[in-house]
Structure 1
């Protein structure tokens, strides 16, 4: 699949056919070469493959405005076990539903997707500011979980915690707010000064640029990096890491954040990323695609640990740290079931071994059962 990377953009229809082996960076670059007013809502890692990304739903910095990648898939081409090339009509709606978010399992070999492009302004705004524990971070974090899913849907404002050393060499908690807004800086500052004044955003913190330049910025490249860097298929880092996930459905108190910060400092290299939901994500039915994390979720939490040491001992140590942090978060996150993001492939949760039709049936049964359970818990 690596070499199946053709991308054909239609400005007339505001769509594109993209083969599954293309990377997100290649897709973004090809769209931007045709228009500075069209884009596609997908992830911030340009070396990720389109096929794998879409198979798990495909979330990114425009999901609060336009939903997931799979919410913007119009058609697909799939080769079945008999070698027959199928499109949406010939494969049927059940199979099409399953391959747009149901996971990269053996439904068939997905050859390409037809995607709906979305409109973006010529100018978007980004900022990247930091706040530490000593800068009233507990209050900022508590307010964030109260408002993040209710902010203007043009705004994506994640909150990422890690452990750093302060000026005295003592461990402290830092939060990074790397933010994207579909509009100019004047409007962005007005929104946040009204709805989230605790952050203390200044207009001087903001940078206006084109959408494709914001993709480069959000990837972590220095300002001014040429956009053709998105064509590289080499990841910026190649190191061992472990990722787990959770969903937050009730706000965390100041005391809760104090507990979380202390536990992070006890462990090594802990990073917790809070990616806000709400907006369009709350408007789309949980049955529309095999991705149930819609209305009712404030944020997805990503636990991530990266390390450079090699060997079984180092791997076991860092894996255990991540599992401990995940355990510490149990009181705060979704329950019955404890939800998780499929594409992180967390083997701690388990594996699936059903056949093709069994997978489709299990997906639909699980989704309906989960929804009923959620409603019963809400009413109870």
Structure 2
């Protein structure tokens, strides 16, 4: 770009984006080609003009920037490079490649594993200052930089154009990793995954011989770099290069009006928040409550189900917390919205004898919401702020955490529920910040073919996240041991992990768990890569071989190049 700031070019509605010429008129399906890399001199000039800081040991910012949201993982790099532009990213990568430095990437949000902060890290490239969200007329698409937090993405898209992406509820998640891993949220049953609306991605890559270049890859069938786009639709972050920009346009978008290029959220939603007190629960009632949740989702998760407009988050918290919390949202503009919600709530409690109470204390992602014991109608963005900006357990910057995931295709087995009850009610377990999160899935998520995107799990009915949080490093062994024992007992029939079979559909790469790579913990004989990527892993390996042949971008669960 000859030293011209790329964000400025977008602001001016440039007809050339990321160095890739757009073929044809704005209304055509344009094909993007490899973006020519700036010369080292120009890249250095661009970095000098608007480049981010280099933070080294001794800088007061260093301790903050060498760990993430999960305090279990800390790095001691030679330096942290704050990246502010594509040119800045190119130069930062070129410097690290020439120096032979081991690089970690971070968009600035969460990471449940040690991908961004680990002992072998020599350089952290931090994209948290790249936060631009806007509209790009050249691609008829909305551009999102990787450091933008999800709440800021929702605010910018909705206030500016009345559109959104069906992303997650935790406001502090960075777009960079969320998107690459195939993000989901409360609108996914109605509109699919975030990556189902991904049109293009800009990636800075290295050829294994010291060369660095920027590529814009689109979903166009004739794009020679289409596989690089595909790899970022669920292939996971930190695998192929430095993502500096995403573009979003829904597959069925028409015309050139920006507000028609991406999905619109409901203008209003019905919101319910209730608690199921542990004091009301016997083991039989606990089992019935969870079986009801599973049965409802098994019956109502088809892509065309009228219930695709309803999504629920159910925190099955430990007995030490005092209650199980459930948040439900339904599009208030669809016919019979209140009946859909009432019927759902009745189905969950049917036969239990449990009386739902107001949600009076935070639980996991959910803040206290006593005012929604009786459902209320809210503007969509207001409801999104309600859940997304006040989740103290998940966003506690001093906490340590353990996380494990599974996709469920059928209801719980009796053994699974008995196991969960035993661990969650164990007398010696006194941590209230512990839960199994059950999240509505299916609907339009399951309308896509498993190989349409790198995210292959397209037949599940709900998703699970086993998680616990604590602050004292000395308690790591206890909490990680408890979590491992629960998970491996829960899936004892299949070697301690959720297999790819009629009951489960593996694991979610945005909830990475290194234990799945350990044959002592994963006793199924099925490689961790299959559990996370199913049949898509060999194709991801081919993409890796083409765009990162030397395996420069790697972490503890990274994609390996095909041999």
Q: If the TM-score is normalised by the length of the shorter chain, which range does it land in?
A: 0.7 to 0.9
| TM-score in terms of structure 2 length | 0.55
Change (3 A) 1:74 1:163: same
What whole-Å deviation, never above 9, does each CA across 1:69-88 have from its counterpart, x for those lacking one? 11110111112213322112
Is 1:67 the counterpart of 2:192? The answer is yes
Could you tell which deviates more after superposition, 243-252 or 129-138? 129-138
Q: Is the 8 A contact 2:499 2:506 kept in 1?
A: yes
Q: Which residue of 2 aligns with 1:252?
A: 412
SS in 2 for 1:59: coil
Q: Is the 8 A contact 1:268 1:321 kept in 2?
A: no
| TM-score in terms of structure 1 length | 0.79
Q: Distance in 2 between matches of 1:281 and 1:157?
A: 15
Q: Which residue of 1 aligns with 2:159?
A: 33
Q: Flag the structure with more relative contact order, 1 or 2, with Cα contacts below 8 A and sequence separation at least 6.
A: 1
Q: Distance in 1 between matches of 2:245 and 2:195?
A: 13
Q: Distance in 2 between matches of 1:141 and 1:32?
A: 35
Q: Which residue of 1 aligns with 2:316?
A: 161
Higher helix share: 1
Report deviation, 1:100: 2.0
Q: Where do residues 285-324 of structure 1 align in structure 2 (5 Å cutoff)?
A: 285-295=449-459, 297-311=460-474, 314-324=475-485
Q: Where do residues 111-126 of structure 1 align in structure 2 (5 Å cutoff)?
A: 111-116=244-249, 117-126=262-271
Q: Which residue of 1 aligns with 2:92?
A: none
What whole-Å deviation, never above 9, does each CA across 1:309-360 have from its counterpart, x for those lacking one? 233xx111111111011012115774257711111221112299x9xxxxx9
Report deviation, 1:95: 1.4
Q: Distance in 1 between matches of 2:453 and 2:175?
A: 17
Q: 2:507 aligns with which of 326, 340, 356?
A: 340
SS in 2 for 1:107: coil
Is 1:102 the counterpart of 2:235? The answer is yes
Aligned residues: 341
Q: 1:127 aligns with which of 256, 268, 272?
A: 272
Is 1:92 the counterpart of 2:246? The answer is no
Two-structure CA RMSD over aligned residues (Å) = 3.4
Q: Is the 8 A contact 1:57 1:69 kept in 2?
A: yes
Q: Distance in 2 between matches of 1:363 and 1:308?
A: 39
For the pair shown, which has the larger CA radius of gyration, 1 or 2? 2
Q: Which residue of 2 aligns with 1:225?
A: none
Change (3 A) 1:24 1:336: closer
Change (3 A) 1:361 1:128: closer
Q: Distance in 2 between matches of 1:346 and 1:256?
A: 20
Is 1:350 the counterpart of 2:517? The answer is yes
Q: Where do residues 187-266 of structure 1 align in structure 2 (5 Å cutoff)?
A: 187-195=336-344, 197-199=346-348, 205-219=374-388, 221=390, 235-252=395-412, 256-266=416-426
Q: Distance in 1 between matches of 2:137 and 2:288?
A: 46
Q: Distance in 2 between matches of 1:3 and 1:77?
A: 17
Change (3 A) 1:49 1:143: same
Report deviation, 1:265: 1.3
Q: Distance in 2 between matches of 1:329 and 1:61?
A: 26
Q: Distance in 2 between matches of 1:115 and 1:284?
A: 17
Report deviation, 1:154: 0.8
- Structure 2: 5+ residue stretches without partners: 1-126, 250-261, 302-306, 350-355, 358-371, 519-526, 530-534, 543-563
Report deviation, 1:46: 1.4
Q: Is the 8 A contact 1:102 1:363 kept in 2?
A: no
Q: Is the 8 A contact 2:266 2:333 kept in 1?
A: no
Report deviation, 1:158: 2.2
Is 1:42 the counterpart of 2:167? The answer is yes
Q: Is the 8 A contact 1:243 1:344 kept in 2?
A: yes
Report deviation, 1:184: 5.3
SS in 2 for 1:342: coil
Report deviation, 1:279: 0.4
Change (3 A) 1:10 1:124: farther
Q: Distance in 2 between matches of 1:91 and 1:102?
A: 19
Change (3 A) 1:250 1:121: closer
